Amino acid sequence: MALAVEIKESTVLVILGASGDLAKKKLFPGLFGLEKRCLLPDDLKIVGFAPDEMSYENFIDIIRKPIKLESPRFAEQLKQFCERCSYVSGHEGGDKAFEALKKRLDELLKGRKERNHLFYMALPPSVFVPMSEMLKKHCYSERGNSRIIIEKPFGHDLESSRDLQKHLEPNWREDEIFRVDHYLGKEVVNNLLVLRFGNEIFGSIWNSRHIESIQISIIEGGGAEGRGSYFNSTGVIRDVMQNHMTQILALLTMERPKSFSSDDLCDQKARLLEWIEPIEHDETIIGQYSKSEDGEKPAFKDEEDVPDDSKCATFCAAIAHIGNERWNGVPFFLKAGKALNESKTEIIVQFKQSTNVNIFNDLLPNKLTINVQPNEGVYLQINSFVPSLETKTEAINLDLTYRGREIPEAYEALLLDAMKGDYSRSVREDELDASWRIFTPLLHFLDGEESVEPRKYAYGSTGPEGLDEFISSYQQKR
Ligand code: NDP
Ligand code: BG6
């Protein structure tokens, strides 16, 4: 929900970790996307910073490589974009590296009254704290704004997340830290607010009186290819459930914010998350993928640096409960996994059966399906007469697809927010704390000695056996 603020004049954006995967695949292409939309002010400068000694030309090659120019007009814009960019090598390490960065900031902002510095930490989490200390010591602007942008993981449980926060606090105020969750930059996730609060028809039925259950799935067809070591220490719960999925859940269920200002939005999300009870292990199905049935695709344990006795969860289905008046009694089915039969992020809001079920035959409960990706769209299943001479009904879809509409990349939206200083899509400290509180007991159980073996499922299948029974047995309990 971008506010009507603009990127300040005299701003330099520094990408720390400019030679890394995130910078190459997402940040530079995202920034070029903003260039193409003419959303970057003329005087905005971008500095890449990394340990490599690299020429300007090699750095520009990194930027250009993933960019596909769909029209000749964009070639001119790419040239303009590259002219904004320069590179500083941090190969000398320590203070010297940051003195070199400071020197570049001074050159770029020479003669400016105001100086605004923005630092994107596209770095391994282990160096977030020392690097942020160095930035404060050498590169903090005394005559303008300085902000850091950080990426998940924000810790690996509640305690370590608080610890990270405690180490950032002496140098960076909460309003100087932008925490990225790239799902908050996705178009359909943003649209949840308009869908819920901009449409009278949904406002009055968005509660346990009318909604039977809600299901949120983030499933992926690919496995942990090449990221075995990272994934083995992370698992699917930390990788996508504690962050991306929890943010979707909060936007879907929070009360209406007073306004769409960042404070009001984050207040409501944090309040909602406080109502979610920590997830119990006996309300989950934990799985790990084995080889595909044809033996072509590897098991998780075949990945490099994954030990044979790994109990890492590459799949998790869980039931969450929200204890407030609006949602009491509604089960929230959360499902995430790698190496499944398809890739999609989807929300299904299952409404209760109509009380008129006895009048018509074949009535199905209404269902709202929100496709976050791919094939972005919103579908409402309603009952309708079949055009015939009989009194027959069928379920049809009211279809609101995004087909043919141009959808900005999530990183474009979030980079623009961060540069503008709009925090409405940044994850606030209290939200982060509340989301770790929901998952930490389960994570500690799974990491502990008493933990269970994950259920096996074949690469490319729908997940571990017993999933449907698990969900339906839960529905029967109600
Ligand atoms: P990479 O390992 O690919 O890149 C890290 C970058 O940081 C490289 O430029 C690296 O330089 C530099 N670097 C490494 N160690 C140091 C150090 N001690 N001092 C200074 N610079 C250092 O990581 P990613 O780009 O994949 O990830 C960056 C961050 O973004 C991580 O926190 C990750 O969790 C997060 N993230 C990444 C996503 C992705 O799609 N890649 C998605 C979501 C979050 P060099 O190569 O020379 O060592
Ligand atoms: C990242 C996870 O945060 O999100 C990845 O680390 C995951 O493992 C990715 O694949 C999913 O994001 P998207 O935008 O591709 O759905």
- Which CATH number does the domain housing residue 190 bear? 3.30.360.10
261 and 364 housed in the same domain: yes
Give how far Cα 357 sits from Cα of 180, 352, 362, 384, 394, Å.
Answer: 46, 11, 8, 13, 13
Give this complex's ipTM. Answer: 0.97
Q: Which amino acid is residue 214, in one-letter code?
A: I
pTM for the model stands at 0.94
Q: Which of 99, 129, 151 is the last residue of a domain?
A: 151
Q: What are the C-alpha distances in Å from 322 to residues 252, 273, 385, 445, 474? A: 12, 8, 36, 22, 15
Which tokens go with 281? 């292990």
Q: 78 is written with which tokens?
A: 């790419």
Of 17-26, 59-68, 350-359, 443-452, the least confident: 350-359
Residue 95 lies in a domain: yes
Mean pLDDT of 144-157: 94
Q: Are residues 204 and 311 in the same domain?
A: yes
Active site residues: 244
Say yes or no: 94 and 190 in one domain: no
Residue 332 domain-assigned (yes or no): yes
Quickly state the pLDDT bin for 394 (edges 50, 70, 90): confident
Same domain assignment for residues 288 and 349: yes
Same domain? For 320 and 226 the reply is yes
- Which ligand 2 atom is at minimum distance from the Cα of 152? 3
User: What is the pLDDT confidence band of residue 238, given thresholds at 50, 70 and 90?
Assistant: very high
The tokens describing 271, both together, are 């309040």
Q: Give the mutation target among 123, 135, 227 for probing the ligand 1 site: most ligand atoms within 8 A of CB.
A: 123
For the chain, give the mean pLDDT: 92
- Report the nearest atom of ligand 1 relative to the CA of 18: 9
Any atom of ligand 1 within 6 Å of the Cβ of 76: no
Cβ-proximal residues to 22 (8 Å cutoff; 6+ apart), any chain: 122, 151
For ligand 2, atom 6: residue with the closest CA: 239
Let me know whether 317 and 425 are in one domain. Answer: yes
In contact, 347 and 248? CB cutoff 8 Å: yes
Among 110, 126, 151, identify where a domain stops: 151
Q: Which atom of ligand 1 is nearest to the CA of 51?
A: 47
Q: Please state the domain count of the chain.
A: 2
Contact predicate 114/10, CB 8 Å: yes
Question: In which band, very low, low, confident or very high, does the pLDDT at 180 lie, cut at 50, 70 and 90?
Answer: very high
Using the mean position of ligand 1's atoms as its centre, give its distance from the Cα of residue 15 in Å. 11
Domain assignment of residue 472, yes or no = yes
User: CA 90, CA 75: separation in Å to the nearest integer?
Assistant: 30
Decide if 421 is inside a domain. yes
Instruction: Answer yes or no: is the C-beta of 124 below 6 A from any ligand 1 atom.
Output: yes
Ligand 2 center to 239 CA (angstroms) = 8
Ligand nearest to the CA of 16: 1
In a domain, 324, yes or no: yes
243 and 126, same structural domain?
no
Is 135 in the same domain as 218?
Answer: no
Let me know how long the chain is: 478
| Contact yes or no for 270/283 (Cβ under 8 A) | no
Q: Rounded mean pLDDT of 150-171?
A: 95
- 59 and 130 both lie in a single domain: yes
Residue 243 CA, closest ligand 2 atom number:
3
Q: Is residue 176 part of a domain?
A: no
Is 413 in contact with 253 (CB distance < 8 Å)?
no
- Label residue 2 by pLDDT band (50, 70, 90): very low
How many angstroms separate the CA atoms of 90 and 383, rounded? 63
> Which residue of 15, 16, 19, 22 sits with most ligand 1 atoms within 8 Å of its CB, as the best mutation to test the pocket?
22
Task: Note whether 201 and 64 are same-domain residues.
Answer: no
Q: End of a domain among 107, 127, 151?
A: 151
Q: Domain containing 107 — which CATH number?
A: 3.40.50.720
Q: How far is the CA of 234 from the centre of ligand 2 (A)?
A: 13
**Positive or negative: CA dihedral 158, 159, 160, 161:** positive
Examine residue 314 and state whether it is found in any structural domain, yes or no.
yes
Rounded-to-integer distance, Cα 314 and Cα 232, Å? 9
Is 458 inside a domain boundary?
A: yes
- Lining ligand 2 with CB less than 6 A are 182, 220, 239-240, 345
Residues 272 and 365 placed together within one structural domain of the fold: yes
Q: Check residue 56 and give its pLDDT.
A: 95
Q: Which of 331, 342, 286, 340 is nearest to 467 (CA)?
A: 286
How many whole angstroms from 20 Cα to the centroid of ligand 1?
5
Alpha-carbon dihedral angle through residues 10, 13, 14, 15, given to the nearest 10 degrees = -170
Q: State the distance from the centre of ligand 1 to the C-alpha of 22, rounded, in angstroms.
A: 7
Cβ of 94 closer than 6 Å to ligand 1, yes or no, is no
Do 458 and 339 lie in one domain? The reply is yes
Boundaries of domain holding 116: 11-151
